[in-house]
Structure 1
Amino acid sequence: MLEIFLFALAMMYSPGPVNMLSLFAGVSDYGWRALRFCAGVGVAMCLLFIVTGYLGSSFMTEALQGVAALAGGSYIAYLALKIIKASFQVQKANNTPQNLTFVAGFLMQLTNPKAMVAVLPIVTVQFPNAHVEGAMILLMSMMLGAMAGGAPASYFVAGNRLKQAVLNPTIMSWLQRVMGVMLLFLAVEFLISGLSMLAQGDNLLSKLAVKV
């Protein structure tokens, strides 16, 4: 059982688009409203664990993962461009794109390929090894979902503690630009990954069609 939480901890608390946005929100003095974004992330992960745990991983095909990656990459690119645009405007204490809502966190995590990278090994390998089944799947999903929501929340708190060092308007502008460029790179990675998954899914369908 401990291995499940250690693996989830390593995957969920490593730097990623969700955690980076939360860190930036803390640094930018966005306010504690950002925690609703973190809650959306946690609920999305809980849902992924529940659905995958009870229905099995077979429903999460390469094509479906590809579509999710493309959607996630497009949304991250949109946020990145908004952040870069904001960096060239008059700086305010909370000059952060007003998109860190519960729904934004939920959808962003739901379409995050990294989320499925964390979910699938746990559900397909570690759950059976730990004899997690029945009602335990629901309980474990809720606990892991809470861990997932805690990851961006911890990044937000860390950024909030550091904000006094970087509230200078010039520093904030460059921080926004760097953050935007990093998110754009992540968005491109998501889009490439999504196209690759779709291509693999099409190849699989073609092979099955030939066999039939």
Structure 2
Amino acid sequence: MPSLLPIALFAFTMSFVPGPVNVITLASGLQNGVAKTVAFVSGATIGFAGLLLILGLGLAALPEGASVFTDGMTLAGAALILYIALPLFRADALQQGADQPVPGFLQGALLQWLNPKAWGAILAALSLFNLRPGTADLYVVIALWSLLCFIGVGVWAVFGAQLARVIQTPAQMRLLCRAMGSVLITLVGLFLWQWARS
């Protein structure tokens, strides 16, 4: 069994650092509050755990012909992130509690499966910590990472809700939402640029 401390530090860091899921969680916490964002955070956690399980059981060793599959996942992920980012970027007068679409459980789970950051983190962990398919070590890591993923992503919802308290005007809210939308659109551009180069 590999030491759990480095795995925990890696898992929490990868769950907490900014990425599409965390930016969307921040935006939802800002617009909708923590309680309404929990479903998205839970979906992201379950989706990530499922992806870790599938990749950990051997899908990580995809044959070369499976590049069509990974290309499709990358493009679908980019499309999903844009689908969420564009309304956020175009928002005119967002206010906390307003009638805005709330990202839910299914979007959170699906986004993890289409998130290049999640794939990269899992593939790196499987290699770094020498996690073998079907071993008890793999299941312990899945349980630990799920807990840390929920906490790491959930912190962004809390941060968004706290940020909403200092937003004083619709113009400030609009500026912040457009900034978050811009970050997501930029991430999509980076993912596609890396994909095109590979």
TM-score, length-scaled by structure 2: 0.86
Q: Is the Cα contact below 8 Å between 1:23 and 1:158 reproduced in 2?
A: yes
Q: Is the Cα contact below 8 Å between 1:83 and 1:176 reproduced in 2?
A: yes
Match of 1:161 in 2: 162
Match of 2:115 in 1: 112
Name the CA distance, whole Å, in 2 between partners of 1:68 and 1:99: 24
Q: Is the Cα contact below 8 Å between 1:53 and 1:137 reproduced in 2?
A: yes
Q: Is the Cα contact below 8 Å between 1:30 and 1:96 reproduced in 2?
A: no
Q: By how many angstroms is 1:62 displaced?
A: 4.2
What root-mean-square deviation, in Å, do the aligned CA atoms of Structure 1 and Structure 2 show?
2.3
Change (3 A) 1:16 1:65: same
Match of 1:72 in 2: 77
Counterpart check, 1:83 vs 2:98: no
Rg larger in 1 or in 2?
1
Paired residue total: 193
Change (3 A) 1:35 1:109: same
Which amino acid in the other structure matches residue 110 of structure 2? L
For residues 113-169 of structure 1, give each alpha carbon's deviation from its aligned partner in whole angstroms, at most 9, with x where no partner exists. 1001110121123034xx895233223212212222222211111221232101421
Q: By how many angstroms is 1:172 displaced?
A: 0.5
Q: By how many angstroms is 1:84 displaced?
A: 2.1
Name the CA distance, whole Å, in 1 between partners of 2:120 and 2:163: 31
Match of 2:140 in 1: 139
Name the CA distance, whole Å, in 1 between partners of 2:99 and 2:120: 29
Match of 1:48 in 2: 51
Match of 1:200 in 2: none
Match of 1:201 in 2: none
Percent of aligned positions that are identical: 25
Name the CA distance, whole Å, in 2 between partners of 1:96 and 1:187: 26
The gaps in structure 2 that reach 5 residues or longer are: none
Name the CA distance, whole Å, in 2 between partners of 1:83 and 1:22: 12
Name the CA distance, whole Å, in 1 between partners of 2:145 and 2:155: 15
Which of the residues 88, 93, 96 maps onto 1:93? 96
Q: Is the Cα contact below 8 Å between 2:31 and 2:98 reproduced in 1?
A: yes
Q: Secondary structure at the match of 1:33?
A: helix
Which amino acid in the other structure matches residue 168 of structure 1? T
Name the CA distance, whole Å, in 2 between partners of 1:190 and 1:119: 17
Change (3 A) 1:18 1:167: farther
TM-score, length-scaled by structure 1: 0.81
Which amino acid in the other structure matches residue 92 of structure 1? Q
Q: Secondary structure at the match of 1:127?
A: coil
Match of 1:183 in 2: 184
Match of 1:208 in 2: none
